[in-house]
Amino acid sequence: MRRRDFIQDGAAAMAGTLAFRPWSRRTSSLDKIQIGVIGCNGMGWSNTSSMLAMDDVDLVAICDVDQSVMDRRMNEYKDYRSNIPKTYTDYRELLQDDSIDAVIIGTPDHWHCLPMVDAVKAGKHVYVEKPIANTIEECQLMKAAAKKYGKVVQVGQWQRSGPHYAEAIDVVRSGVLGNIRLVKVWAYQGWMKPVKVIPNAAVPDGVDYDRWLGPAPKRPYNRNRFHFSFRWFWDYAGGLMTDWGVHEIDIALYAMNAVAPISVMASGGKLAYPNDASETPDTLQTVFQYDGFNMLWEHATGIDNGNYGRTEGIAFIGNNGTLVCNRQGYEIIPEKGGVDAVSFERPKDVSYLGLHTQNFAAAIKANDISMLNTPIESGSVAAINAQMGNIAYKTGRKVYWDQSSESFIRDQQANELMKARYFNGYELPVL
């Protein structure tokens, strides 16, 4: 493929992507989409703000267990609209509001499954943050719930809506790279320094800490486990493997048309900061074997110099060349006699999160799940594979997967680690 033809074809593909994705009022007779947000401290509010950039969306309800967060968001909302949303600390009360068409779930990972399943049961469409859940069992249950109740459920893996990612995926699938034998995915996060060990403390005023814990084990309040840094504790999340990993693994497996591995093995640990407060590994290498190729995930905290000089990304390594893609753009590094060198920078004036939430809103308007860029059936693949990586790490051995039964082969410990364990009177939802 000549470089000139490649760029022209890529530009046309990108134009088509941009033309398809944005919101259209013509898809339905609905005037407004009324949304509620459950968990509005971080990405929950970023997703909400993105949706409020559309005139067709109004926020009518906010739910959070931290009153200070809710107060801050209510004050910020004045810059978006003039209505006053209702406030809740219990998401179940929010779901009883028949005026709400869709909910955004921006809670910690261990609090994704319950509200998502309850929301579709209540007839609401759902935008659920990534990773979709903290266990494989919860992921499987959430997929089944979305299918049973037929609601529009978008996963917050917004890279899928990015034009340059779509273009890179087209290149991978075109065959011009030749036989792709290895895919590398990585996240080197230099900003992540040691999590300081601090004592437990009294629960801050205005925080319903018992509700924040929810189905997780009962533990004293510690600021390290609360809000953003919950990611580094097994009770609530899966570390960088499920935090950054699902974004990169999602693109890698989607491009390769792969769903489940044959085997997984992992090695790593707390090698950078062995004595800090976090539980999840700060250094990890995981090898996934698929039919026809391997995928290597690796992450490291405190280091920015990742593969190909990039802090994060995906590399598709073929006989004719390697395509390297990350949030800044993509490039093709040729082999001798292979494909030509190509580079493409991400458009600076396009919000990929904006495209993703527009896609969600358009699918709601049309009541058409097939329009979604990351429906839960597809979006769950990355979360399930990432969880497999953590399970391989925890077992300390190579594990083998049977896709037909969706379980590990002759490995009781690995299969136990798939399961959700709920505490404090909470129970896994029943469909």
Per-residue pLDDT at 139: 98
Both 189 and 143 in one domain: the answer is no
Number of domains composing the chain: 2
Strands 180-189 and 312-318, sheet pairing:
antiparallel
Same domain, 146 and 263: no
Express each pLDDT in 31-51 by its tens digit: 899 999 999 999 999 999 999
Q: What is the pLDDT of residue 30?
A: 54
- pLDDT at residue 31, rounded to an integer: 80
Residue for token pair 């925890």: 394
- Average pLDDT rounded to a whole number, residues 103-130: 98
List of residues 6+ apart from 235 with CB closer than 8 A: 110, 216, 217, 219, 225
Does some domain include residue 85? yes
Whether 28 and 107 share a structural domain: yes
- CATH number reported for the structural domain that contains residue 85 in this entry: 3.40.50.720
pLDDT given at position 77: 96
Q: What is the CATH number for 408?
A: 3.30.360.10
Residue 51 placed within a domain: yes
Quick one: pLDDT at residue 338? Answer: 87
pLDDT for the residue numbered 11: 40
114, 135, 159: which is the final residue of a domain?
Answer: 159
Give pLDDT tens digits for 304-334: 999 999 999 999 999 999 999 999 999 999 9
The pLDDT value recorded for residue 374 is 98
Among the listed residues 159, 209, 205, 96, the one whose alpha carbon sits nearest the alpha carbon of residue 326? 159
Q: Verify that 91 and 218 share a domain, yes or no.
A: no
How far is Cα of residue 257 from the mean position of the Cα atoms in its chain?
18
Tokens of 380: 């769950």
Has residue 19 got a pLDDT over 90?
A: no
- 184 and 123 inside one domain: no
Strands 312-318 and 321-326: antiparallel
Does residue 146 share a domain with residue 173?
A: no
- Tell me, yes or no, whether 103 and 170 share the same domain: no
Tell me: the pLDDT tens digits for 334-385? 998 889 999 999 988 999 999 999 999 999 999 999 999 999 999 999 999 9
Percent of the chain with pLDDT over 70: 93
- Give per-residue pLDDT as tens, 188-218: 999 999 999 999 999 999 999 999 999 999 9
Could you read off the pLDDT of 74-94 as tens digits, one per residue? 999 999 999 999 999 999 999
Specify the pLDDT at position 3.
Answer: 38
217 preceded by cis ω (within 30°)?
Answer: no
pLDDT, residue 337, reads 84
Answer whether residue 4 shows pLDDT above 70: no
Report pLDDT for 12: 41
- What counts of helices (H) and strands (E) characterise the chain? 13, 16
The 10s digit of each residue's pLDDT in 401-424 is: 999 999 999 999 999 999 999 999
pLDDT at 14: 39
Q: Within this chain, do residues 268 and 394 fall inside the same structural domain, yes or no? A: yes
DSSP 375: B
Containing domain of residue 216, as a range?
Answer: 163-347+376-417
